[in-house]
Amino acid sequence: DILFYCDRRHRSATRLQVGFVGLIEQILTGFSQSSVAAADRSEYSVVDKIVQRANKNEAHVEARRQQILEAASTCFARQGFHQTSVQDICQEAGLSAGAVYRYFSGKEHIIAASCLESQQGIVDLIREAKSQGKSPLKTLDFIIEHGMN
């Protein structure tokens, strides 16, 4: 994430998320195939390594966020939203508070991310049920059967 200050008088900030891989891909799309072929192979391999490292970093960030969200879901199911503290989530995930706050700014954002993840799962289930082209009753049966897991 990159933080840009829009208005220095009021010290307000707008957070602009820029994926490093997306940025590298935009840079690379500016090269034609012939210019890449003509470029020094060592320079191209450096760019290749940067893209690979960025992909690994994004995969690590997503895996860590998933770990935290799974721990939060376990805590929320056990104690409820209000009774669960960030410290509870840290203990369940096996992470320090600093590690959790690196990926989420607070408990409210963890709750929001958990809700969005649940909603996406429901949307995916409904799409899968509708894609089977069965009757509405069979589609509903599919949703109930697979949604209860």
Task: Encode pLDDT of 84-127 as tens digits.
Answer: 999 999 999 999 999 999 999 999 999 999 999 888 888 888 88
Residue 139: CB atoms within 10 Å: 17
Tens of pLDDT, residue by residue over 28-78, are 555 444 444 444 444 456 667 777 777 778 888 899 999 999 999 999 999
Residue 2 has pLDDT above 70, yes or no: no
- Listing DSSP states for 34-75 in one string gives HHHHHS-HHHHHHHHHHHHHHHHHHHHHHHHHHHHHHHHHHH
Residues found in the chain: 149
- Tokens standing for 40? 């020094």
